[in-house]
Amino acid sequence: MPRSGTNFLSNLLQLHPECGPADPVWEDFLVSHLDQLAAYSDSVAGEWDAAWGVNEQTATDLDIALGNGLADFLEDRCPGTRVVSKTPRVDNLGLFFRFFPRGKLLILVRDGRSIVESAARSFDWNREAAMHSVSQAAKTIARFQEIHASENDHFRILRYEDLWQDTETQLHGLFKFLELDPGNYDWQQALALPVRGSSELKTAQENTIHWDPIERNPEFDPMSRFADWSDALHFRYNHVVGADMAPFGYRNKSVAGPAILLRLRNVLLDVTWGLKVLLRPLYHRLRRR
């Protein structure tokens, strides 16, 4: 999701001399809309007559050719020999290997509380809506991991916290996975990488974050975004998101507050959110009219 640290990971990878971005398409969202390409491919293959000798492999070859076309689009804009393609979403993640069977996929996860708080500070997101988005994204990743367990030599799931706290060790593992030579890497620059786009950089004057590089100082701590959360907010997060983030090693904060009141609050918020989800399609239809 946005605020999960994809810029940090992307910037680290692009310090390798073989890697580069698809300039100027910094976030391409190609995977996010693969459902439309899958529908196109299915429709085309559905017109073919089995009597011609076409089979499942023919349809698979079409998918791979379409994926190669997307890869060419990115590579044509990349100054390096390896293009770093980035999207802060996991929509249609399950279709990745259908179109990019030889791709190397990195999935970055971050403590959901940090994502929720950073999104609220940076983009004024509603915390309740952000929690439900984190929950769905975590479910998507866990489902992908389960289905594609046999292909774990083609994808890696990384935790932002591990990458931030032990950058060198994590990058060595990544370079081995990506078949990149760590001997050509600028480790000194990587370990002093400036901060970009942090919610802490939001200016009061413009009420927006900026993406100019800022020198990292010892006081910068991206792990403490939710340090001021109330027990009620933690209790709500545990209810909506907690179980979904557990497979990635994240633990909830125990809340010792008035449990009955907090549970009643959860019930009220669940009902309210359910009504919003139910009525949202009607709202959008009325708005379009």
Domain boundaries, the chain: 6-226
Q: Which candidate, 110, 166, 230, places its Cα nearest to that of 119? A: 110
The pLDDT of residue 83: 95
179: left (phi over 0), alpha (psi -120 to 50) or beta: left
Strand, coil or helix: 59:
helix
Q: What is the pTM of this model?
A: 0.88
Pull the structure tokens for residue 201.
């950089």
- CA dist 251 and 233 (Å) reads 15
Question: Are 162 and 170 in contact, with CB atoms under 8 Å apart?
Answer: yes
Length of the chain equals 289
Ranges of the chain whose pLDDT falls below 70 = 196-213, 216-219, 257
Pull the structure tokens for residue 235.
């209790």
Helices assigned H by DSSP within the chain: 6-14, 34-46, 56-75, 96-99, 112-123, 127-147, 160-165, 167-178, 187-191, 231-237, 243-245, 259-288
The pLDDT of residue 201: 56
The pLDDT of residue 178: 96
- CA dist 66 and 100 (Å) reads 9
Q: Which residues contact 176 (CB under 8 A, 6 or more apart)?
A: none
Residue 15 burial by Cβ neighbours in a 10 Å radius (0-12, 13-18, 19+): middle
pLDDT tens digit string along 179-198?
999 999 999 999 988 876 56
Pull the structure tokens for residue 121.
């500070």
The pLDDT of residue 214: 72
Question: Which of 3.20.20.150, 3.40.250.10, 3.40.1110.10, 3.40.50.300 is the CATH number of 6-226?
Answer: 3.40.50.300
Please state at what angle helix 127-147 crosses helix 112-123, rounded to 10 degrees.
140
Strand, coil or helix: 105:
strand
